[in-house]
Amino acid sequence: KDGSKVTTVVATPGQGPDRPQEVSYTDTKVIGNGSFGVVYQAKLCETNEFVAIKKVLQDKRFKNRELQIMRKLEHCNIVKLKYFFYSSGDKKDEVYLNLVLEYIPE
């Protein structure tokens, strides 16, 4: 089954200093689609906790406002930004921003 493969990325913590670190996750599956991107559920290998990974196409002309805002927010009613990382797309110039968020089951 494809979902059991482990993916390792270099990600920056959502809060605190910009110290990128290796983050590994597994059991990836699509749980949502929207006009801006796709949301996956995955399991962090280090802690076995489930996370949501929101993958959105990054427009190089603009800084991502959602990322800037999420990095500043810490509130019990707002999902926590655990990490973020960038990945390439199918096309040569495509860059995706991946927000690794606390997973809230329905």
51, two tokens: 């996370």
The CB density around residue 58, as the number of other CB atoms within 10 Å, is 19
Q: How many whole angstroms from its chain centre is CA 49?
A: 14
54 is in an annotated binding site: no
48, two tokens: 């076995």
Looking at the DSSP assignment, which residues form a beta bridge with residue 70?
none
Annotated binding site for ATP: 55
Annotated binding site: 55
